[in-house]
Amino acid sequence: MFARIDHIGVAVTDLDAALALYERDYDMTLVHRETVTEQGVEAVLLDLGENHVELLAPLSDDTPVGKFLARKGPGMHHVAYQTSDIVAELERLTIAGIQLIDTTPRIGIRGSSVAFLHPKSTGGVLTEIVQPAAGH
Amino acid sequence: MFARIDHIGVAVTDLDAALALYERDYDMTLVHRETVTEQGVEAVLLDLGENHVELLAPLSDDTPVGKFLARKGPGMHHVAYQTSDIVAELERLTIAGIQLIDTTPRIGIRGSSVAFLHPKSTGGVLTEIVQPAAGH
């Protein structure tokens, strides 16, 4: 069972230009910035109550987010639902017939455990399941 | 200042098929169903902690959500940020140079006050500001 929306992921071409909007105009607090080489992104987390906004800038054009930007332009990329037990959740979703992109969790931003569900199974919504690292 | 993500809005072609995913597979609780004629949608709210998922099915092809589905297919449609004072928030965003679709709030789902920001000003993200009705 999901506890809340953990974050929405937003694909951006220019991280600093996007931060002007989210930090200055929206008054959200930047809490983390990380280059996630294996996902090909530079990513930022902003706090918004118990939720976050994650901004994703591609490290190159041939990364998943780079290809997303080329195909669709900047905008919403995915939604992430939070759980306290990602392994149990993935097992439950598999039994429900949901197609998983990641059948086992991998390490996401800020030490979280993450897995993506396939948009074919989720009404076109790229959906991530997140178990935050202890303390987050 | 925004308090949290109020909801993500998801465009769907078939509300009941989508509910099978969100209610049965995701275990979210349906809390409200409403036909919002002026927006041309049948909409559903599901609870997810203090956040919601809003499913939007168009009443006809020539509505905004109908056109969105024809252009992009089903998927994430918008994000909504929650505030306790939408009038002050719109004033603040206008001063910040954000282009508004609704310069004054209008009535949204479940009696909320809502206004949309223009995606041109928000990095391609259709963004809604929501002040929930008292008691929600």
Model confidence at B106, pLDDT cuts 50, 70, 90, reads very high
Mean pLDDT across B103-117: 94
ipTM of the complex: 0.95
Cα separations (Å) of B119 from A102, A121, B81, B101? 31, 27, 14, 9
Q: In whole angstroms, give the CA distance from residue B96 to residue B90.
A: 10
Phi, psi angles (nearest 5°) of residue B73: 80, 175
Question: How confident is the model at residue B31, as a pLDDT?
Answer: 97
pLDDT of A1 over the 90 cut: no
Question: How confident is the model at residue B85, as a pLDDT?
Answer: 97
Query: Which residues in chain A have Cβ-Cβ distances shorter than 8 Å to B1?
Result: 27
Mean pLDDT across B122-135: 95
Cα separations (Å) of A46 from A19, A26, A31, A72, A126? 9, 10, 6, 23, 20
Question: How confident is the model at residue B92, as a pLDDT?
Answer: 96
Question: How confident is the model at residue A83, as a pLDDT?
Answer: 98
Q: Give the pLDDT confidence of B83-101 residue by residue, as tens digits.
A: 999 999 999 999 999 999 9
With respect to residue B20, please indicate whether it lies within any of the assigned structural domains.
yes
Question: Which residue in chain A has the smallest CA separation from B78?
Answer: A76
Provide the token pair at A114: 């993450």
Model confidence at B39, pLDDT cuts 50, 70, 90, reads confident
Cα separations (Å) of A13 from A38, A109, A116, B81? 18, 19, 22, 22
Q: Give the pLDDT confidence of A93-130 residue by residue, as tens digits.
A: 999 999 999 999 999 989 999 999 999 999 999 999 99
Distance from the B30 Cα atom to the nearest Cα atom in chain A, whole angstroms: 14
Question: Quick one: what percent of chain B has pLDDT higher than 90?
Answer: 93
pLDDT averaged over every residue in chain B: 96
Mean pLDDT across B15-24: 96
pLDDT averaged over every residue in chain A: 96
Residue A1, classed as helix, strand or coil, is: coil
Pick from B78, B81, B123: which is nearest to A10 by CB?
B123
Q: Amino acid letter at A81?
A: Y
Question: How confident is the model at residue B57, as a pLDDT?
Answer: 98
On whether the CB atoms of residues A114 and A105 are closer than 8 A, the answer is yes
What does pTM read for this prediction? 0.96
On whether the CB atoms of residues B81 and B5 are closer than 8 A, the answer is yes
Phi, psi angles (nearest 5°) of residue B88: -65, -40
Q: Please state whether beta strands A4-11 and A51-58 pair in parallel, antiparallel, or not at all (unpaired).
A: parallel
With respect to residue A136, please indicate whether it lies within any of the assigned structural domains.
no
pLDDT of B56 over the 90 cut: yes
Phi, psi angles (nearest 5°) of residue A66: -60, -45
| DSSP states of B73-106 | -SEEEEEEEE-S-HHHHHHHHHHTTPPBS-SS-E
Q: How many CB atoms sit inside 10 A of residue A34's CB?
A: 14
Q: Amino acid letter at B41?
A: V
Q: In whole angstroms, give the CA distance from residue B47 to residue B53.
A: 7
Does the distance separating the beta carbons of A28 and B125 come in below 8 Å?
Answer: no
Least confident of A20-24, A31-35, B25-29, B37-41: B37-41
Range of the domain at B21: 4-131
With respect to residue B18, please indicate whether it lies within any of the assigned structural domains.
yes
With respect to residue A115, please indicate whether it lies within any of the assigned structural domains.
yes
Model confidence at B135, pLDDT cuts 50, 70, 90, reads confident
Query: Which residues in chain B have Cβ-Cβ distances shorter than 8 Å to A124?
Result: 73-76
Q: In whole angstroms, give the CA distance from residue B24 to residue A123.
A: 14
Does the distance separating the beta carbons of B25 and A97 come in below 8 Å?
Answer: yes
Q: How many domains would you assign to chain A?
A: 1
Query: Which residues in chain A have Cβ-Cβ distances shorter than 8 Å to B10?
Result: 123, 125
Does the distance separating the beta carbons of B4 and A123 come in below 8 Å?
Answer: no
Mean pLDDT across B64-80: 97
Beta strands in B1-123 (DSSP E): 4-11, 29-36, 41-48, 51-58, 75-82, 106-107, 113-117
Q: Which residue has the higher pLDDT, B69 or B136?
A: B69
- The CATH code of the domain that includes B81 is 3.10.180.10
Residue position matching structure tokens 């987050």: A136
With respect to residue B71, please indicate whether it lies within any of the assigned structural domains.
yes
Cβ burial A93-125 (10 Å sphere, 16+ → b, else e): beeeebeeebeebeebbbebbbbbbebebbbbb
